[in-house]
Structure 1
Amino acid sequence: MDRKNAWKTYTAEELKKLETVNEDYKNCLDEGKTERECIRLTIERIEKAGYRNIEEWIKSGKKVESGDKIYAVCMNKTIAMFHIGERPLEEGMNILGAHIDSPRIDVKQNPLYENEELAYLDTHYYGGIKKYQWVTLPLALHGVIVKKDGTVVPVKIGEKEDDPVFVITDLLIHLAAKQMEKKAATVVEGEKLDLLIGSRPIEEAEGLDKKEKEAVKANVLELLKKYYDMEEEDFFSAELEIVPAGKARDCGLDRSMVLAYGQDDRVCAFTSLFAMLDVEKTERTACCILVDKEEIGSVGATGMHSRFFENIVAELAALSGAPAELTVRRALMNSRMLSSDVSAAYDPMYAEVFEKRSAAFFGKGLVFNKFTGSRGKSGSNDANAEYLAKIRNAMDTEAVAYQFAELGKVDAGGGGTIAYIMANYGMEVIDSGVAVLSMHAPWEVTSKADVYEAYKGYKAFLREMR
């Protein structure tokens, strides 16, 4: 069934709103290139809107009531926000769930070395990437260095106009005959994704010979000491992420698209945040959870498989005066959720991997995937028809442009989201998100219309799902 292109439906006023949402979205992408940065940005915004950390509620013993706004953070990489509704918690929540980690390259814990008077950082890529896409790009370093005394030193190098950038080198075409015969997966190997960060030997200084072995490495260490008061061993307790340098940009002569790093899945995360901030009085408790580690299986303390979210719901139950364990079980079972993650946009350059009748298209709005997984729906949540009907009604009530799609041809591959994890509680869950071109590449493309419709759709879900 053909869906109308949303661009053809907008009034002048709606186009202004669309641009406002997308400008805010691009700013968020620029400020939130790592999970920690996304959490810091989110906290700044929600506290201005009246949200308070659950720790304050626990210490004060104040009872949670309708209209209260509460958030909880896990290790500065995952956050859950709650706008308490009029109905008891055990009757369920309307939950928006997205992930804020994106494919990237991480710096190892013993990374700095010199090879033929070139200094490098040893790396380990994170998530599903085509390794060859990451060479010869201007790259930035983001993250934190944590000293032994607990001091946290933020790092962001490569984003300002006058900042240096970094690069992963590639073999020149003139000598690449054998390299060009390799399969794409091995054209660039993981161990060759090391970051070039210096080539200048340290200058003569007291107690140091200019001809000293590894003088380039010594110079890098000197600079790290100067700018970050960092010793080489501080790499052991550092989290440094390598991401593309540069800002989110309008794409196309018509400025109809956004080109940026990390849109999987921050396009869903930030539009969910925008929707959450616009929620007013609601019957059911509105919830937004932004999580880490989806790209590597939702594992660890900050991934969706952890008990963090369940524990926080238990704290809310206790603060509302309800019996915690039973209330938590009922609240989760009775909840409804949008697992907000991106979908693959139909790309006519690679039409052979798409089934056109079941593909997601640019400009046709928020995408719903009844199921994800791969081949025979392996690893998938499969939403039931009754829930789909409720979703359709909510979207139509708020005049949201939306479409239903699958992730490519049945045997072409596949992917998953956090939906199946939350479905384990017995709640109703469906995948929803924005169609993306070049997903998992260093620079991804979205339609501004779809970004806007995602914001509208998430807001409609929080308001209309009763």
Structure 2
Amino acid sequence: MMNDSLPLQDFNASLQAFLDASPTPFHAVVSMAQRLDVAGFQRLDESDDWVLEPGKGYYITRNGSSIIAWRQPAVDAAVNLGWRLVGAHTDSPCLKVKPNPELHRQGYFQLGVEVYGGVLLNPWFDRDLSLAGRVSYRDDEGRIKSALLDFEQPVAVLPSLAIHLDREANASRSINAQTYLPVVMGQADEKPDFRALLKQRLEVQGVAEVETVLDYELCFYDSQGAALVGLNQEFLASARLDNLLSCFIGLQALIDGGEAAAGQVLVCNDHEEVGSMSACGAQGPMLSQWLERVLPDADQRNRSLSRSMLISADNAHGVHPNFSDKHDGNHGPLLNGGPVIKINANQRYASNSETSALFRHLAEQVEVPVQSFVVRTDMACGSTIGPITAAELGVKTLDIGVPQFAMHSIRELAGSQDAHGLYKVLQRFLQTDQV
């Protein structure tokens, strides 16, 4: 039976805490794993032999940045009812530190960065930036280990050039990613050793056995936390709403969904923002390899997939009051107007009439309004893990999302009610025996 839904206020408070604790995909997966542990899910290692019990919850991670969590059904239920899958992605566009990043210019210590994904670059200037990610090191006994690192406090800034030195800035300034984006870390008489700085920070965090920092995957992030804003707190403002918002919604729906006859699955992949082609991305083998292990018989697996459905949750473009002409006039989703079914005739989204109809039906049952998005016919359409996963597994799929503004900015904006609405619909989806 389905558990009670979290009240809106409690849901948003938990969501904000999750966003603030998840500055990188690595941290997001740790945050999700901690919540799954509390909910009684058992962590499994992909290198171990698995003994799975029907009705019990499990999860695995890959690369520390992708996660699959599920409740194991009985074999006959998996075959006859299939799986209810919710998919999202853990990564967000950002600025990543280069391997040899140190710069020393005009007495300032700077780090060179690489642009990850389709970043909206202008908003990164004049923000209080911190730094987080994964660091790999050799310990005192010669073993190679990794640890997560988060400076937490603001340690960097990307200052704008004054308008007095570029009078055309408001009319024509474009950003050269190579020359304009090195981040200012502070002042120094000579070029510091960045790896030595990381070693020092790891020791501050309690990792005392570091002999040498060998490599890292680090990105800058906005140190300002998530907040409810607006005269009546109508909006949620935060970094990484695309797509940690969907990760949290799917996670909470799975935890609160309760047991069901059909299999219940949450998959959150890394690398969606750069094409999903990786060992832990949606275009990689992670999900199909997992499915082969939880349902080993190929004939049973194919029969099960024919009775399964995936909901790919990735945020949608809300109609902006200052740029309403960027939307089709009949398909401009409103913030706090409910989750959005995303449709594209050229299969950039995987929705079809049957999967859309089921979602509308489930939303009616929990009294959540539903909207639609179709990109203007004269504009290109983005995509999601939906079509990729549908093609990899052959599973019927729906693309949906919470409407938002400022997608791919350093700070994005969504309605404060929409995530909770989608959470209630996904709870019901994980319980349904009808796909």
TM surpasses 0.5: yes
Give the letter aligned to residue 429 of structure 2. Answer: F
Q: Which of 339, 346, 350 is the equivalent residue of 2:312?
A: 339
Q: Which residue of 2 aligns with 1:461?
A: 429
Alignment of 1:438-453 (within 5 A): 438-453=406-421
Q: Does 1:103 align with 2:93?
A: yes
Q: Which residue of 2 aligns with 1:368?
A: 341
- SS of the equivalent of 1:187 reads coil
- 1:298-338 C-alpha deviation (Å, 9 max, x unpaired): 121121011011111111124xxxx2x33333333432011
Q: Which residue of 2 aligns with 1:82?
A: 70
Alignment check: 8 A CA contact 1:199 1:216 kept = no
Alignment check: 8 A CA contact 1:145 1:234 kept = no
Paired with 2:212 and 2:112, the residues of 1 have a C-alpha distance of 15
Q: Which residue of 1 aligns with 2:371?
A: 403
Task: Point out the structure with max Rg over C-alpha.
Answer: 1
Paired with 1:236 and 1:108, the residues of 2 have a C-alpha distance of 13
Change (3 A) 1:147 1:75: same
Q: Which of 182, 196, 204 is the equivalent residue of 1:194?
A: 182
Alignment of 1:247-396 (within 5 A): 247-318=225-296, 323=297, 325-371=298-344, 377-378=345-346, 380-396=348-364
TM-score normalised by length of structure 2: 0.89
Give the letter aligned to residue 85 of structure 2. Answer: I
Shift in Å, 1:382 = 4.0
Alignment check: 8 A CA contact 2:199 2:213 kept = no
Shift in Å, 1:38 = 0.8
Q: Which residue of 2 aligns with 1:150?
A: 144
- SS of the equivalent of 1:119 reads strand
Paired with 2:46 and 2:394, the residues of 1 have a C-alpha distance of 31
Paired with 2:144 and 2:43, the residues of 1 have a C-alpha distance of 22
Change (3 A) 1:223 1:32: closer
TM-score normalised by length of structure 1: 0.84
Paired with 1:432 and 1:441, the residues of 2 have a C-alpha distance of 20
* More helix per residue: 1
Give the letter aligned to residue 51 of structure 1. Answer: F
Alignment check: 8 A CA contact 2:132 2:220 kept = yes
Q: CA RMSD in A?
A: 2.5
Paired with 1:308 and 1:216, the residues of 2 have a C-alpha distance of 42
Shift in Å, 1:463 = 1.5
Shift in Å, 1:104 = 0.7
Alignment check: 8 A CA contact 1:131 1:188 kept = no
Give the letter aligned to residue 217 of structure 1. Answer: P
Alignment check: 8 A CA contact 1:294 1:418 kept = yes
Give the letter aligned to residue 70 of structure 2. Answer: F
- SS of the equivalent of 1:44 reads helix
Q: Which of 160, 173, 177 is the equivalent residue of 2:167?
A: 177
Q: Which of 183, 189, 192 is the equivalent residue of 1:217?
A: 192
Shift in Å, 1:389 = 2.1
Alignment check: 8 A CA contact 1:18 1:449 kept = yes
- SS of the equivalent of 1:414 reads coil
Alignment of 1:9-158 (within 5 A): 17-55=7-45, 58-59=48-49, 62=51, 64-86=52-74, 87-91=76-80, 92-148=82-138, 149-157=143-151
Change (3 A) 1:385 1:56: closer
Alignment check: 8 A CA contact 2:137 2:213 kept = no
Q: Which residue of 1 aligns with 2:217?
A: 239
Change (3 A) 1:386 1:154: closer
Q: Which residue of 2 aligns with 1:6?
A: none
Paired with 1:274 and 1:104, the residues of 2 have a C-alpha distance of 26
Q: Does 1:426 align with 2:403?
A: no
Deviates more, 1:28-37 or 1:387-396: 387-396
Gaps of 5+ in 1: 1-12, 202-214, 372-376
Paired with 2:131 and 2:416, the residues of 1 have a C-alpha distance of 28
Q: Which residue of 2 aligns with 1:204?
A: none
Give the letter aligned to residue 150 of structure 1. Answer: I
Alignment check: 8 A CA contact 2:404 2:413 kept = yes
Q: Which residue of 2 aligns with 1:374?
A: none
Q: Which residue of 2 aligns with 1:228?
A: 202
Alignment check: 8 A CA contact 2:282 2:388 kept = yes
Shift in Å, 1:111 = 0.9
- 1:207-226 C-alpha deviation (Å, 9 max, x unpaired): xxxxxxxx2526x6665454
Paired with 1:388 and 1:258, the residues of 2 have a C-alpha distance of 26
- SS of the equivalent of 1:67 reads coil
Change (3 A) 1:164 1:431: closer
Shift in Å, 1:144 = 2.0
Paired with 2:316 and 2:99, the residues of 1 have a C-alpha distance of 34
Shift in Å, 1:246 = 1.5
Number of aligned residue pairs: 419
Deviates more, 1:325-334 or 1:106-115: 325-334
Paired with 2:394 and 2:147, the residues of 1 have a C-alpha distance of 42
Paired with 2:332 and 2:410, the residues of 1 have a C-alpha distance of 23
